[in-house]
Amino acid sequence: MRTHNIKFSLWLNEKEYIKLEKLAKITGFKKAPLIRNLIMGCEVKPRPPEELPKLLRELSAIGNNVNQIAKVANSTGEINYQGLNEIQTLLKNIWRNLKGW
């Protein structure tokens, strides 16, 4: 069953249409749902980048490494420098990916 039962046509000039298309591309919405959201006062945000899940996994790995290093440091009084190097490498990868946005 159709939830939107009123059809509405809209005339736009070229500048307005280009702006609408650009906003639709940035947000990931099709034009009609985008206009509905804007009319209803919803805040439309840019679609998250495709690399976000990879970056979140890398951040999780960094958190795990930090916890492991802290556990060893607390129990033995020594620091695992190999773990610190792994964290540094992961952080460099994350920053490299973030600079591309």
Domain count, the chain: 2
- Do 56 and 95 fall into the same domain? yes
The predicted structure's pLDDT at residue 11: 96
Range of the domain at 31: 11-47
Average pLDDT over residues 69-84: 81
The predicted structure's pLDDT at residue 73: 81
Residue 30 lies in a domain: yes
Residue 32 lies in a domain: yes
- Do 60 and 87 fall into the same domain? yes
Higher pLDDT, 29 or 68: 29
The predicted structure's pLDDT at residue 28: 93
- Do 37 and 57 fall into the same domain? no
- Do 35 and 57 fall into the same domain? no
| Residue 33 amino acid letter | P
Interatomic CA distance for residues 36 and 67, integer angstroms:
46
Query: Per-residue pLDDT tens for 24-39?
Result: 999 999 999 999 999 9
Q: Give me the residue label for tokens 């490299």.
A: 96
Residue 84 lies in a domain: yes
How does DSSP classify residue 79?
-
Residue 2 lies in a domain: no
- Do 32 and 56 fall into the same domain? no
Residue 13 CB partners (closer than 8 Å, separation 6+) = none
pTM of the predicted model over 0.75: no
